[in-house]
Structure 1
Amino acid sequence: MPLVIAAKPYVSSLHNFNIVLNSHQVSLTALPPLALYIHFPWCEKTCPYCDFNSHQIKKGQSGFDEKRYIKALIKDLETELPNIWGRQVHSIFIGGGTPSLLSSEAMDELLCAVRARVNLAPDAEITMEANPSSAETEKLAAFAKAGINRVSLGIQSFQDEHLKALGRIHNGVEAKYAVAIALKHFKSVNLDLMYGLPKQTLEGAKADMDATLSFKTPHLSFYNLTLEPNTYFANFPPQLPSDDEVDAIFEQNLALLSAAGYQRYEVSAYAQKNQACKHNLNYWRFGDYIGIGAGAHGKISYPNKITRQVRERHPESYMQAMESKGNALMESKDIAAKDLPFEFMLNTLRLTDGVAINTFSERTGLSLSVINKSLTEASGKKLLDNHPSQLKATALGLRYLNNLQEMFLD
C-alpha cells in the first residue's frame, strides 16, 4: 500500500487536531495518555507454554538480588524522565515473570521511588501480576499496603490435572484461597483463565468457568492456550483438543460470561461495568508507555516522532548495563510513517468497540486517507464495521483478527 503524503494539514472534525505528514516526520499537536510498565524477570519455575521474558531461579540459589534490581529499575526510570517532562502517568503495571516474588519492602521502595520521580495521577491504577502459590498469597495484604490497588492472578485452571499439565506450581485449593484473599485487599482483581488445555473437555471447561464466576471478580482474562515458538510446548507439543472442540469451549464459556454480566471489551478481556483494565486499554488505544526492567518495551510520542525502545533482555546483562553505562537500551528507533497504520491497527482492532475514527490521525499523525484502500477492502470482506465514526472489527473480523490486521501492512 503506497503512503499518501498530505498536501495540507488533516483537520479532525471531532477534536480539531491539525496533523501534518511530510516525507520526513509526523507532527502531533497533542500527546496520548502515558503509562508505566515495570518488568520483573524471575519465576520459581518457567511454564512450558510461556514465551515472556522470564528466567527460572536456579536450584541451590537463594533467589535473586532484589536490592540490586530495584536500584537498577529506579535508575532506569530516571533515564526516561527527560522524555516525559510535564506528562502525567495514569497507570502502572508490574508484570513478569512473577513480580509477587518481590518482598513487600522492595515493592514499597519501588513505588515510593516512582511517586517521587513522576507525576502520578491521584487515581492511578497500579497492577501487579501474582501467582496463587501459598507463599505469595501470604504477602498480598502487604502489597496492598505498599500501594498496589489491582492484582492479576495467574489461575489458568482450578483443576489439578490441568495445572499439572501446564507446569503450574499451585493447585486448585491454593488458587481458590488466593482469589478469596485478593478480593479482601484489592480494589480490583483479575483472574487469568486458559481454555483449550491438554485433554480438556467441554464439561471440564464449564467447571473451570463456573468456579471462576463464583468469585464475581471485576475482571477476567479468558484466552486460548497456544503453542508459541521457543517454548517447551513448541518442541514437545501436548495433545490438545481439536479446533472444533476449542471453538465449542469458547462459545459455551462466552455465553456463560455474558449471562454473568461480563462484557467482552477486548479479544481476551472481560469486565463488569466500569472495570476494564485502564493500563491495557491505553496499550490498545495506541497510547504511550515507559518500559523499564529487563526486556521491557516502551513507546513514547514526541511532537515530531513516535519512538519504540527495548531494554537488555537478560536480568544480569540489564543490571550490569545500568551499573556501568547508566542505560540498558538495546534498541531505540523511530517508527517509520509507513509502519504506523499497521502498528495502530494491530492494537486498536483488538477492542470490540474499536476506537473513534479520528483517533487514527490523533495517535499516528497521518491522514486517514493513507488507509482508505485497506478500510474499503476490509469492509467489503465483512471484517470491518461500516460505522461512520468508529474503527471496529465485526464479529467475523474478531474471529479472523490476524487476517484483518495484516490488511494494514505497508
Structure 2
Amino acid sequence: MTTDSSASSLIIGGAASSPRAPLPTLPPLALYIHIPWCVRKCPYCDFNSHTASPVLPEQEYVDALLADLDQDLHAVYGRELTSIFFGGGTPSLFSAEALGRLLKGVEQRIPFAADIEITLEANPGTFEQEKFVAYRKLGINRLSIGIQSFQQEKLEALGRIHNGDEAVRAAGMARQAGFDNFNLDLMHGLPDQSLDDALSDLRQAIALKPTHISWYQLTLEPNTVFWNQPPVLPEDDTLWDIQEAGQTLLAEHGYAQYEVSAYAQVGRPARHNLNYWSFGDFIGIGAGAHGKLSHPDGRIVRTWKTRLPKDYLNPAKSFQAGEKSLSNDEMPFEFLMNALRLTAGVESRLYPERTGLSLETLAEGRREAEQSGLLQVEPSRLAATERGQLFLNDLLQQFLN
C-alpha cells in the first residue's frame, strides 16, 4: 500500500492516476473535544460514552486534554481554528470553570478565528440556567441539545432521563442564556412510532424556533442494548412516509436540508460539520476521539485516541491509540463518503485541492455513477442525484478500489 507523495502511478477504479502532489493549501482546521461521561448510557448509543461517577475528574481530564493537544500541534502549520465542537457523552456535565480553563489553554496553543464557532452538546436533563449563562460568557456560541423526542413513552423506550416538558424548557433556557444559534437533535423511526407521532415531534421542535434541526432515523448499532434486544420498529412503508412528510414539513418552515440528516435556517448550517463533510482537517482530543490531519507534503493521516477514560487518564499510557496514512487508492472513497452526504455536493476543484490527486482518479467511477443515475452529470460539481442520496452506499461502491 503506497502512502508517500513520490509514489509511482496507481490504477484507481480502472483509471491511471498521477502521483499525489503536495497540497497547494492546507484545508481549514477544526478541533473536536470528546468528553465521555453520561448520567446513563442509552440503549441505542454506540458512541464512546460511560456512566459518570458522582464526582467527575474534571481537572485531571482537562490537564490530559491539553497534554493530548500538545502532541498534535506539529500538524497545525500556523493555521487558526475555525470551529470547536464539544461532543460526548454529555459535555454539559462539566462545569463552566473546567471548560473555561480548557478553552483558555487551547487558545494559548492555537489562535481562534475571529468568527470561530464553538458548539457544546447538552441534554435537557443537564440544563441549569446559571451554568449555561456561564458557558455563553466563555465564548461558547452554539448549543446542540439532545431532545430525541418530546413524547414520554418514546423517551422511556429510548432510555432518556428527561421528559418532554424539560425538553421544551431547555430550548427557552438556551435562548435566555444568550444562545441565538442552537440545534435540536431529534430521532424518527422510534419503537411503535406512527406518522402522526413523528410529525408531532417535528412540529414541537419547529415551534421552539431553533436555527438548526438534526433529524435522523434510529438505527440498531452493534454493541448496543438495542442490537442485542431489538425493539419493534415501524414498517418500511411507515418509515418512508415519515421521511417524506417530515422533509416537506421542515422545508415549509424554512429549514433547508443541506446534508442527509441536517436541516438549517438560511445561513445557519453547522460550520464544524460542513468542514468535516468537505474533507477539512480536525484535531481530535479526548478518550476515543478521531482526527484527520493534512500535511504540506501530501500526506493525510487519520488518528484515533485511547478509548477508555481510565486508560486515557493513565500517565503510563499513550494518548494516541493509532494512526493511518491514507493511500492513493483509498482517497476517492474517503473524500466522497463525506462530500456526497451534502445535498449540494462540493465543487469538483475541491477534490484535487484536498487530496493532491487529479480528478482523473475519479473518472471511471464517476462515469458509471452518472450512467446509473446516482451522480449528477455536472463537470464543475461532485453531487449525488436525489436517487443517489437515497442509495448513497450503492453510489460510494463505485469508488471503492
- Provide the TM-score with structure 2 as the length reference: 0.94
Match of 1:387 among 356, 378, 392: 378
Residue 202 of structure 1 pairs with residue 211 of structure 2: no
Name the SS for the 1:27 alignment partner: coil
Residues 52-107 of structure 1, C-alpha deviation per residue, up to 9 Å, x if partnerless?
Answer: 110112xxx42321110010001111111122131111000000000000011101
**Counterpart in the other structure of 1:315:** 309
Residue 97 of structure 1 pairs with residue 89 of structure 2: yes
Residue 333 of structure 1 pairs with residue 342 of structure 2: no
The question of whether the paired residues in 1 share the 8 Å contact of 2:340 and 2:384 is answered with: yes
Residue 40 of structure 1 pairs with residue 35 of structure 2: yes
Question: CA separation in 1, counterparts of 2:126 and 2:271?
Answer: 28
Name the SS for the 1:147 alignment partner: coil
**Counterpart in the other structure of 1:84:** 76
**Counterpart in the other structure of 1:16:** none
Deviates more, 1:80-89 or 1:91-100: 80-89
**Counterpart in the other structure of 2:110:** 118
Question: CA separation in 2, counterparts of 1:363 and 1:197?
Answer: 38
**Counterpart in the other structure of 2:11:** 2
Q: Could you tell me the percent identity over the aligned residues?
A: 50
Structure 2: stretches of 5+ with no match in the other structure: 1-9
Quickly say closer, same or farther: Cα 1:134–1:73, change in 2 above 3 A: closer
Residue 226 of structure 1 pairs with residue 219 of structure 2: yes
Residues 234-278 of structure 1, C-alpha deviation per residue, up to 9 Å, x if partnerless?
Answer: 000000001110110111111100000111000000000000000
The residue type equivalent to 1:368 in the other structure is L
The residue type equivalent to 1:226 in the other structure is T
Name the SS for the 2:388 alignment partner: helix
Match of 1:283 among 276, 286, 290: 276
Question: CA separation in 2, counterparts of 1:379 and 1:303?
Answer: 33
The question of whether the paired residues in 2 share the 8 Å contact of 1:36 and 1:289 is answered with: yes
The residue type equivalent to 1:265 in the other structure is Y
Residues 330-378 of structure 1, C-alpha deviation per residue, up to 9 Å, x if partnerless?
Answer: 1122111110100000000000000001111111111111111110111
Cα RMSD, aligned residues only: 1.3
Name the SS for the 2:83 alignment partner: strand
Question: CA separation in 2, counterparts of 1:328 and 1:404?
Answer: 36
Question: What is the correspondence of 1:122-133 to structure 2 with a 5 Å cutoff?
Answer: 122-133=114-125
The question of whether the paired residues in 2 share the 8 Å contact of 1:101 and 1:136 is answered with: no
The residue type equivalent to 1:93 in the other structure is F
The question of whether the paired residues in 2 share the 8 Å contact of 1:383 and 1:393 is answered with: yes
Residues 107-163 of structure 1, C-alpha deviation per residue, up to 9 Å, x if partnerless?
Answer: 111111111110110110000000001555652111111221000000000111100
Name the SS for the 2:395 alignment partner: helix
The residue type equivalent to 2:99 in the other structure is M
Deviation at 1:26, TM superposition (A): 4.1
The question of whether the paired residues in 1 share the 8 Å contact of 2:288 and 2:304 is answered with: yes
**Counterpart in the other structure of 2:7:** none
Question: What is the correspondence of 1:133-148 to structure 2 with a 5 Å cutoff?
Answer: 133=125, 135-136=127-128, 139-148=131-140
Quickly say closer, same or farther: Cα 1:335–1:134, change in 2 above 3 A: closer
Question: What is the correspondence of 1:368-407 to structure 2 with a 5 Å cutoff?
Answer: 368-407=359-398
Name the SS for the 1:133 alignment partner: helix
Match of 2:345 among 327, 330, 354: 354
The residue type equivalent to 1:209 in the other structure is L
Question: CA separation in 2, counterparts of 1:100 and 1:369?
Answer: 46
The question of whether the paired residues in 2 share the 8 Å contact of 1:378 and 1:404 is answered with: yes
Structure 1: stretches of 5+ with no match in the other structure: 7-20
The residue type equivalent to 2:180 in the other structure is K
Match of 1:66 among 58, 68, 80: 58
Deviation at 1:319, TM superposition (A): 1.3
